[in-house]
Chain A
Amino acid sequence: MIDLCKVTKTYITGTVEFKALKDIDLQIDRGEFVAIVGPSGSGKSTLMNLLGCLDVPTSGEYRLEGHSVNKLTSNQLADIRNTKIGFVFQAFNLLPYATSYENIEVPLLFAKVSAKKRRDRILELLALVGLADKLNNKPTELSGGEMQRVAIARALANDPDIILADEPTGNLDSKSGTAIIEMFHQMWKSGKTIILITHDMKLADQTQRIIRLKDGAIDGNGNLA
């Protein structure tokens, strides 16, 4: 499903060139639960941005479902992020002025879903993440765990195939963190491809496969023993 071939990402600041990713070869199959681990500065976030179509490779090829994303227009990339990929961020990244309901509604609006269908879908998702009673609360009125659950509901809004999670439990206490990880397991069981970016090995151990990054290159890639 995801196929990276000799992917490189180089950042140029002034005259300084920085290779964030070096010749990455990576395949992730549909329905896999994968952890990408590595110390900070290892290129985890850069890899996630590429996988999430927020950015395009400097060289090499990224094929998603058999189609190269290298040459896609910004509108086509936006449509992929809207329908095929769901993001869950460490900092939740909810719109601060919008309620839970409105936050979940954003990707549905971009997907031009009708008002009635939007409403049904949002209520269904809020029930799924256990926040049916918090639909009118703004992020400031929610706990960290609740905010992350709203973010998960938002990620699932357009029923994407891939969920990309960047340190989803990083800002949560252990109890909330466990609950969130449990949700990822449920999503995985329902057929989603989950890519979890973390430096927490305990979390990574709960996935099918761990990809280790070091200095922008893959240092280890395989099933857990």
Chain B
Amino acid sequence: MINFATVYNVFIRDFHKQKKRITLTLLALGWGTISIMLLLGFGEGLHTQLSINQKGMGDEISILWGGQTTIPFKGLGKGRHIHLFKEDPAYLKKRIPELRYIAGEYHRWGAAVKYGDKILSEHINGIAPEFEMMRAHIPMMGGRMINELDMQLKRRVAFLGDGFKERLFGDEDPIGKQIFINGMPFMVIGVMQEKMQMSSYSGSDEDKVSIPATTFQTVFGDRYLDNIVYQPWDVDNMKSVERQVYEAMGVRYKFDPNDERALQIWDTAEGAREFNNMLTGINIFLGFIGSLTLLIAGVGVANIMYVSIKERTREIGIKMAVGARRSYILFQFLIEALLITFFGGLGGMSISYILTEAFKRIPIESEVLDFMGRPTISLEIGLIVVSILGIMGIISGLFPAMKAASVNPVESLRHE
């Protein structure tokens, strides 16, 4: 049986006797803890920020383009172009119940957009209301995204990328204003919220002018969709949905569903998974470096425990003489090592937390920070560091404690 109050009292007494040594060990532990916490916190911040940035283009979506057949099928030769038509999204949605959203998209580069005296040559994008969810076309306050009624009525309304809005309107509020696209009047109904976009297939969304796809088709007369964007209910079904898209489109356009080149599909979720794995790898690497720093502190703990045991050999002998089992001696020293680790770790964790919280509150406007994020200490990091500290405390305490428990009571009673 171990009396924790006694263990604590002995620890405090030792602290007074070995103030300098214990203080230095606590410092080393604190320093090691801060290193690992900040490294992991930095990794976490990077992870969070990059994940947000990655979702800038869209979350768990696939982009579908037309292609060219490479396998002859039902009497039709290879090399046929497969185009996407405006009816295809509805057709696929009906055939594939796993699809949550699907919508077609048109592009036109170099359209003249005019407001007042200013004329810009821009990228016009014909889209559907589903892009709000699939492609993160979130409107700023005071405006809205293209809706179903805009689609049905083929309204001449425009949703502006935030970068484009700056270039055309500057600080002026564009909502309700009229702009001219290739001479045709459009009303601005919304501006996209600023977002960090790390990937794209048709240029950055912030520079686009989006109008309803139906209006686009009427105005520009495009025969084919440029691409289709879709998102399944469950990202785990991405591959099976892809297969079904090939099958459904193969029936519709008469090509072999195994003809990979008949359509082109970019599964962004797969990229996200690989990207996440890479970030996890970086985090493990950072954690490993931090653990090495902490390991040095662990050696310090073991060292101080060995010294403490040497100085207290007689005490161990006395306890054994009055009936202490070896396991008691073992636990006593183990708990002491854990106490040192606990206090050092607690100090390091508190300082790390204060540092990262302070850093979050410093108002720095920086593109580097927009990209890298700010160090964040999550509960997960806390648990990882506590586990590492715990394991380190046990290992660095166990060997000295085993030595203490193995002393010969006769010898130790003679020890001065």
Contact = CB atoms under 8 A, between A and B. Distances in A.
B408 to A, nearest CB: 8
A74 interface: yes
Interface in A70-86: 74-75, 78-79, 81-83
B321 interface: yes
Given A95-B315, A109-B1, A81 B321 contact: yes
Nearest to A84: B323
A87 interface: yes
- Chain B contact-residue range equals 20 to 34
B10 A81 contact: no
Nearest to B320: A78
A49 B323 contact: no
A81 B13 CA distance: 27
Given A54-B409, A112-B1, A93 B314 contact: yes
Given A87-B321, A95-B315, A110-B1, A78 B326 contact: yes
Contacts of A184: none
B9 interface: yes
Contacts of A110: 1, 319, 322-325, 328
Contacts of B413: 54, 89, 93
Interface string B1-20: 10100100110010000000
- Which of A93, A98, A107 has the most chain B CB atoms closer than 10 A to its own CB? A93
Contact of A78 (B13, B324, B408): B324
Contacts of A157: 322
Contacts of A82: 322-323
B323 A81 contact: yes
B326 A74 contact: yes
Contacts of B327: 75
B395 interface: no
Contacts, number: 69
A49 B410 contact: yes
A86 B193 CA distance: 82
A77 B174 CA distance: 90
B11 to A, nearest CB: 10
Interface string B304-325: 0000000000110111111111
A187 B322 CA distance: 18
Contacts of B328: 110
Contacts of A61: none
Interface in B377-416: 408-410, 413
Contacts of A167: none
Contacts of B325: 74-75, 78-79, 110
Nearest to B321: A87
Contacts of B314: 93
A64 B314 CA distance: 27
A209 interface: no
A52 B315 contact: no
A207 B130 CA distance: 104
A96 B408 CA distance: 20
B3 A109 contact: yes
Contacts of B317: 93
B13 A54 contact: no
Contacts of B408: 55
A78 to B, nearest CB: 4
B17 to A, nearest CB: 9
A111 B322 CA distance: 10
Contacts of A158: 323
Interface of A: 49, 52, 54-55, 74-75, 78-79, 81-83, 87, 89, 93-98, 102, 105-107, 109-112, 154, 157-158
15 contacts: A55-B409, A75-B325, A75-B326, A79-B323, A82-B323, A93-B314, A93-B318, A95-B315, A95-B319, A98-B6, A102-B6, A109-B1, A110-B1, A110-B328, A158-B323
